[in-house]
Structure 1
């Protein structure tokens, strides 16, 4: 994105627009539902206190300690989830670089027929689209298949590996017929190898969720904390509003961590794989047509 975009996001005048965008996000929708349930629970507790005079006497020194431990765990969980998201973004940044380098080098070889070079670039254009589909539901979209220079056989289950095989095969053909020397072949081979390295790294993130105990402990602790806290405070409007705000941010951090742990999906906080794939296509089209 251009620098002007980030400068605009930092301006106070744009905070309202950013909040409006967040209101449409998956995190906001999931958090709001949980907070509404919590708000009903708090209101019910206040009604019980006001009409029946019943309120639990809770030692808040213990609650303060529990809140501190929970806050620390939420920070660690958020950092862990963001690390997965950021690693995914770095991997796709590597895909952008290797795709461009592969196309740039292919188009400079004088002994390779122009049509064959353009065909190799077309395979490279299709790769990010089909890798994106592979990481989501594993079913290639029609728009992704349309980028291929030739159809993929129906029996192929791992399409990114098939595309890499086609690229390796093309390089071997050029090397065998003398169109590429050993150095040129090596320079191209490392970029094609990087494509499968990228695919493997993405599959590692997708197929290795955080341990179940790690994911289950924090929601349980958060639930206990939010259930107990309203029972020991005075039933006032101020306390109700503060409790709702506390629940919103605590639940929001947990929901955000859950979203960031799976960076290759289609939610608003997932990586923009559609846009990255289109950017690669735009760059490679320019390289091929110059």
Structure 2
């Protein structure tokens, strides 16, 4: 995720970064410029069409469709941002629940039980790293503390394995009499929340916007932009070239931004800072325990 000062907005105008939509759309800019120039040449120079031509009535259609496409893109952007923000809230819940679990264990476990304290410090801190990599379809054992003790199977669901080991250790302490039944019940919400958060993140990642809806928006933008020069060339003449490119830049950029943030757990510049959050969880749990 990009860190920036939201108040220094003027500098954003002249700032380019690797995720900027301009870089991705440059080939289309060139193609649209050539297409618009060709349409302008055909209508103005070769066919000598008059401004009163029936083709000019295409502008009326664009006036009507412009409102429709704006509504579609607003809905598309809002739905993508909702997914991004829900993902951020889930990771915020993971931060709070990890701290709460560590605080409860710190209060319950005797100071002399250093082995269990060390175990929970390690396992609670390892869980966010397993979830982060699971959502990226990766397995990086180097990020785990004492990975050899966990005996994980990478081909299986790694976050579930770590959550299960934490649960088993807690119940083992209960059977040994080091945790009472009331204390076990108080720990249960935080223990279950790990799997709940993981499942909610998987739902966001594995359920993209419906295919038909995504294809329809892209086709709508394409045909809207491709028909712009046909009617507006009589008013703008060869200025239609930069106008078409700019209109396409605005519409396509909104769609590209929505595509990027609807899966907020990857490596894109605007994705959630899950690496930083995972590191903070490990740090704070270690401080508590």
Contact 1:206 1:262 in 2 (8 A): yes
Report what 1:58 is aligned to.
56
Q: Which moved more, 1:180-189 or 1:71-80?
A: 180-189
Report what 1:213 is aligned to.
212
The whole-number CA distance in structure 2 between the counterparts of 1:27 and 1:278 is 30
Contact 1:125 1:284 in 2 (8 A): yes
**2:130 equivalent to 1:136:** no
The whole-number CA distance in structure 1 between the counterparts of 2:229 and 2:176 is 77
Note the C-alpha offset of 1:282. 2.0
Contact 2:152 2:161 in 1 (8 A): no
Contact 1:31 1:255 in 2 (8 A): no
Note the C-alpha offset of 1:114. 2.0
Please show how residues 43-192 of structure 1 align to structure 2 within 5 Å: 43-53=37-47, 57-59=55-57, 60-111=59-110, 113-137=113-137, 139-146=138-145, 148=147, 150-154=149-153, 157-192=156-191
Match of 1:270, SS state, is coil
Report what 1:34 is aligned to.
28
RMSD, matched Cα: 2.4
Note the C-alpha offset of 1:155. 6.4
> Structure 2 stretches of 5 or more lacking a match?
none
**2:281 equivalent to 1:280:** yes
Match of 2:194, SS state, is helix
Give the TM-score of the pair, scaled to structure 2: 0.88
Ranked by relative contact order (alpha carbons within 8 Å, sequence separation 6 or more), the top structure is 2
Match of 2:270, SS state, is coil
Q: Which moved more, 1:123-132 or 1:151-160?
A: 151-160
The whole-number CA distance in structure 1 between the counterparts of 2:249 and 2:105 is 53
Report what 2:258 is aligned to.
257
Contact 1:122 1:149 in 2 (8 A): no
Contact 1:91 1:198 in 2 (8 A): yes
> Structure 1 stretches of 5 or more lacking a match?
none
Give the TM-score of the pair, scaled to structure 1: 0.87
The whole-number CA distance in structure 1 between the counterparts of 2:147 and 2:21 is 36
Count matched residues: 280
Match of 2:108, SS state, is coil
